[in-house]
Amino acid sequence: MASSLGTAFGVAVSAAIFTALAAVNVFSPIPFLANGQPDPLRFAAAAALWFNVALVVLAALAIRIGMPKQVGAAGAVAPTES
């Protein structure tokens, strides 16, 4: 459930960023002129993609910081055999 919920929120926020930036005529620091595609559309797609990259980096950092560094650290109980 948590994985599906997280995915749904990620998709919803990315779509909201894309829709908001594509709808307005924002200044793009990166000129896109290929294929005759409008600049705001490409800028909105790039911004939404970079938001997803930032979430991946944040998740990787959370895992790196949150996982214990060694097995049995901090008073963890070792499993017993039956």
Structural Rg of the chain based on CA atoms: 21
Residue-level pLDDT, tens digit, the chain, 82 residues: 568 888 899 899 999 999 998 887 666 566 655 565 567 788 889 999 999 999 999 989 998 998 877 765 556 666 666 6
Note the pLDDT of residue 6: 85
The whole-angstrom distance between residue 17's C-alpha and the CA centroid of its chain comes to: 12
Report yes or no on whether pTM surpasses 0.85: no
In whole angstroms, give the CA distance from residue 47 to residue 18. 7
d(CA 52, CA 28): 19
